[in-house]
Amino acid sequence: MDWSAVVLVVLLLLEPSPCASDDRLDLGKPLSPGTTIVSDDGGFALGFFTPTNSTSTPAKLYLGIWYNDIPTLTVVWVANRETPATNTTSSTPTLSLTNTSNLVLSDASGVVLWATNVTAVSGSSSPAAAAAMLLNTGNLVIRSPNGTAIWQSFDHPADSFLPGMKIRLAFATRAGVRLVSWKAPGDPSPGTFSYGIDAGTALQLFLWNGTRPLMRDGPWTGYSIASRYQANASVFVYQAIVSTDEEIYLTYTLSDGAARARFVVTVAGRYQLQSWKGGGSSAWSVLGDWPAWECSRYGHCGPYGYCDNTVAAPTCRCLDGFEPADAEEWSGGDFSRGCQRKEALRCAAGDGFLALPGMKSPDKFVRVANRTRDECAAECAGNCSCVAYAYANLSTTTTAGDVTRCLVWAGDLIDTEKMGDVVGSDTLYLRLAGLDAAVQGVRGKSNALRIALPTVLTTSILIITGIFVSWFKFRGKRRSNKEYNTKVSLVTTSSSDVLVEGSPAQDFELPFIKFEDIETATHNFSEAYKIGQGGFGKVYKAMLGGQEVAIKRLSKDSEQGTEEFRNEAILIAKLQHRNLVRLLGCSVEGGEKILVYEYLPNRSLDAILFDSSRKTSLDWPTRFNIIKGVARGLLYLHQDSRLTIVHRDLKAANVLLDADMRPKIADFGMARIFNDNQKNANTRRVVGTYGYMAPEYAMEGVFSVKSDVYSFGVLILELVTGTKRSSFNTIKGFPNLMIYAWNMWKDGKGKDLVDPSIMDTCSQDEVLLCSHMALLCAQENPNDRPFMSSVVLALENGSTTLPTPKNPGHYAQGSSDMEQIRDRIDNSMNSLTLTNIEGR
């Protein structure tokens, strides 16, 4: 018997984490110069450093966090920005964790240079068990014995904004955090430049130089698009602003496998998105640099001027009805005096409002609470001092609160910008003389409605829960990135995050392939090459153009007509995202309709997940990644493609897995394009799969993005439990998976839902988050279900507080072996009944 092995096992059992020694700081084990604490995955290090290029002697020592896997010292957080230690042998500083659960940095003589301000933990819990840990995100966290984070460096940022960090502003106190630049490249002490949410409005983001604004984001318009593609680095940046009852914050995450990236306020006063280019070019590259143009600097175009960034060379212009205040200065490139009215306002008689779509609204507005669109217009029309208004309905979630955003302007309009018809732009209604009543926006002259200025700021506090995007950071990229709209060709083998965003797709070409080439490749559609049979035809695997492809031959008798086929081909080809199966080409010869897709070696999720011998290859981290990947793909279909695409048949069989088990959504050929303002559609034909279909779709043929959200909820549950949504047998006595999960959840046994075969790899928090999300997605009322933007955000960040789910929607299935229905609803109606599950 080898006793050392037994001792080792015992030690491992006692030790909560096998790598506990180097990513944490424990009581009584201080950190001193020369040693570091490294995050579990080796990505970040905490320790003492002297800034590169620092010239002072003796050298100054700072406690900070930097990228451990990047050769160039890049510090993302500094504790003692203003109180450096010196690097002499006589005064070695140390960082220690105290018995009050605080981190204290002190020099050799005991002088405290920096300390956290955690108030002593009261109660029975033993502070001795607290520990400071450096997480893989680069966040230094002090955890209390029960695992609660009682302090974290992410709440005290320096100049860097890392993925997962939150730039907050509390509504009640108007206190928040800002990114603050270094003073100089070798000096981490706070510089004059900062970035954060404007405490006055709680609606805008600013870059400041001291107290002077350098750049401003337009007021939030309520759109919930949450991702942008940085073609330069093949990375998606999922950026969101979340507003809860207490606070509003900006956060972001990056797509899987993205290189290191950070937003940073530079010593020169720029706000940049930087990315580390691995491999050959070992350097930080700048993916975004703001303010993007001269004229997008704050107030650059003067009062009533605006920066037109819809043109190749953005420049200042005067708003409609205005002309340069000083034509000579203006034409000489000095826009500071701005523009003046061509015709003075006459107030009540003859003024009207001109609608200017696609604008970033000006600064210095007053927000009037609780107004409908009409009331907002009347608010402005009824007050002669009001020169403009803008309205938005912030409602992106179903949570109650003031979802209105009525902004009115009484003074000069400054820092306006024309963005064009991009999501996130406002329509600005500008008061002008001499507009007749036919002009949009003219309202009655109700004097009853007043703008109560002194109370507005306090009552207009945004109390909503929602997600929206800080848009301005990206909109400047739209034009410059056009050249990255990679044309798909059959020889494209890159698996990067290629994305062709909505409008630029017109210069996109879908390759048409000769039917005979396909015949040759599949040996005349030999059974030996067949890999599957989908609803619309057979699928073959073949080599084409030197590449493995999946060939989908639509059966000639399929209901899918030529038009539907064309829809599917064009849609799929335009929509490109790493979590969507790529269409590489198509063929439409002699009545044959053929689609050529990328081939995915691990085929479909259901083949692995529901196979008892293979399901263990999907451990929990893999499943969680599949859930997140499908969520991102769906978000893209719903929102980011700027077309609203409803999948209508999302299920495990339509999720394919690549070689790295990353998910790709397949078969969105049934999807339909909506107009922007058309939220729901009625269809005569239901195309979907029992058990995954939302009740309103199965029963009434009404589908919307929310019916996909329902299907996604079912899919999550299948991944968590490893169980099919409805088997021939009941699930633990319940008629289907949804009802089973709902009952387990209600009984507080959500964590027991997890597939027993992956118990050892699972994170309880993640399992609970996923089960909770699944039940929210599957709620009966479509309006209660979250949008995919909220889903992605919650899954990425984990910490968002989620509402309590209501009853799931479901319907009993007439015949359990009827998997696919492609009938008209009328034919199947009598076999369906809607069942409510009442809470006990």
Ligand X SMILES: *[C@@H]1O[C@H](CO)[C@@H](O)[C@H](O)[C@H]1NC(C)=O
- 552 among the known binding-site residues? yes
Task: Report the first-to-last Cα separation within the chain, whole angstroms.
Answer: 56
Is 146 a binder of ligand X (CB under 6 A)?
Answer: yes
Measured between alpha carbons, how far is 823 from 274 in angstroms, rounded to an integer? 53
Three-class SS of residue 376?
Answer: helix
Beta-bridge partners for 105: 95, 114
Among 410, 673, 834, 837, binds ligand X (CB under 6 A): 410
Question: Minimal distance in Å, beta carbon 409 to ligand X?
Answer: 8
Among 221, 383, 560, 587, binds ligand X (CB under 6 A): 383
Is 86 a binder of ligand X (CB under 6 A)?
Answer: no
Do residues 80 and 64 lie in contact, with contact meaning Cβ atoms separated by under 8 Å? Answer: no
Measured between alpha carbons, how far is 539 from 531 in angstroms, rounded to an integer? 6
Using alpha carbons only, give the angle 696, 802, 201 rounded to the nearest 5 degrees: 105
Measured between alpha carbons, how far is 35 from 48 in angstroms, rounded to an integer? 8
Residue found by looking up tokens 């003024």 in the block = 351
How many residues line the site for ligand X (CB under 6 A)?
46
Is 52 a binder of ligand X (CB under 6 A)?
Answer: yes
Is 55 a binder of ligand X (CB under 6 A)?
Answer: no
Other beta carbons within 10 angstroms of residue 580's beta carbon come to 24
- Toward ligand X, which CB reaches closer, 286 or 491? 286
Which is the catalytic residue, given 351, 497, 640, 649?
Answer: 649
- Toward ligand X, which CB reaches closer, 88 or 562? 88
Residues 763-822 that bind ligand X (CB under 6 A): none
Residue 121, φ and ψ in degrees, nearest 5 = -75, 120
Three-class SS of residue 617?
Answer: helix
309-348 footprint of ligand X as x/- string (CB under 6 A): ----------------------------------------
HSE-CB at 90 with a 13 A cutoff on CA atoms is: 1
Q: Which residues contact 839 (CB under 8 A, 6 or more apart)?
A: 746, 807
- Toward ligand X, which CB reaches closer, 123 or 756? 123
**Six-digit token pair at 670?**
């049934």
Is 451 a binder of ligand X (CB under 6 A)?
Answer: yes
Is 288 a binder of ligand X (CB under 6 A)?
Answer: yes
- Toward ligand X, which CB reaches closer, 386 or 687? 386
Among 393, 520, 727, 833, binds ligand X (CB under 6 A): 393
Beta-bridge partners for 77: 65
Q: Which residues contact 376 (CB under 8 A, 6 or more apart)?
A: 368, 389, 391, 404, 406, 408
Measured between alpha carbons, how far is 66 from 116 in angstroms, rounded to an integer? 19
Binding piece for ligand X, criterion CB under 6 A, among 47-55, 158-166, 806-814, 830-838: 47-55
Binding piece for ligand X, criterion CB under 6 A, among 134-142, 378-386, 552-560, 691-699: 378-386
- Toward ligand X, which CB reaches closer, 395 or 683? 395
Among 56, 480, 503, 820, binds ligand X (CB under 6 A): 480
- Toward ligand X, which CB reaches closer, 140 or 571? 140
Question: Minimal distance in Å, beta carbon 624 to ligand X?
Answer: 23
How do strand 404-409 and strand 366-368 relate by DSSP bridges? antiparallel
Is 97 a binder of ligand X (CB under 6 A)?
Answer: no
Question: Minimal distance in Å, beta carbon 484 to ligand X?
Answer: 9
Is 446 a binder of ligand X (CB under 6 A)?
Answer: no
Binding piece for ligand X, criterion CB under 6 A, among 298-306, 379-387, 525-533, 571-579: 379-387
Measured between alpha carbons, how far is 301 from 304 in angstroms, rounded to an integer? 8
Is 757 a binder of ligand X (CB under 6 A)?
Answer: no
Binding piece for ligand X, criterion CB under 6 A, among 317-325, 364-372, 501-509, 684-692: 364-372
Question: Minimal distance in Å, beta carbon 512 to ligand X?
Answer: 32
Is 125 a binder of ligand X (CB under 6 A)?
Answer: yes
- Toward ligand X, which CB reaches closer, 209 or 761? 209
- Toward ligand X, which CB reaches closer, 116 or 711? 116
Other beta carbons within 10 angstroms of residue 803's beta carbon come to 14
Is 379 a binder of ligand X (CB under 6 A)?
Answer: no
Is 136 a binder of ligand X (CB under 6 A)?
Answer: no
Is 61 a binder of ligand X (CB under 6 A)?
Answer: yes
Is 121 a binder of ligand X (CB under 6 A)?
Answer: yes
Among 15, 35, 173, 185, binds ligand X (CB under 6 A): 185
Residue found by looking up tokens 């409605």 in the block = 449
671-690 footprint of ligand X as x/- string (CB under 6 A): --------------------
**Six-digit token pair at 718?**
């299948």
Is 727 a binder of ligand X (CB under 6 A)?
Answer: no
204-243 footprint of ligand X as x/- string (CB under 6 A): -----xx---x-----------------x-----------
Whether 649 is catalytic = yes
- Toward ligand X, which CB reaches closer, 28 or 42? 28
The CA distances from residue 252 to 178, 239, 595, 706, 737, in Å, are 15, 4, 36, 24, 33
Is 385 a binder of ligand X (CB under 6 A)?
Answer: yes
Output DSSP code: residue 684: S
Do residues 757 and 721 lie in contact, with contact meaning Cβ atoms separated by under 8 Å? Answer: no
Do residues 49 and 59 lie in contact, with contact meaning Cβ atoms separated by under 8 Å? Answer: no
How do strand 416-418 and strand 305-308 relate by DSSP bridges? parallel
**Six-digit token pair at 633?**
């793909």
Do residues 477 and 532 lie in contact, with contact meaning Cβ atoms separated by under 8 Å? Answer: no
Instruction: Enumerate the H helices of 427-560 as residue ranges.
Output: 453-459, 472-475, 477-480, 515-521
Q: How many residues does the chain have?
A: 840
**Six-digit token pair at 228?**
């942008």
Is 372 a binder of ligand X (CB under 6 A)?
Answer: yes
Interface ranges with ligand X (CB under 6 A): 33, 48-50, 52-53, 59, 61, 87, 99, 115-117, 121, 125, 144, 146, 148, 150, 185, 192, 209-210, 214, 232, 269, 286-288, 369-370, 372, 383, 385-386, 393, 395, 402-404, 410, 450-451, 453, 459, 480
Binding residues: 552
Binding residues for ATP: 552
Active-site amino acid positions: 649
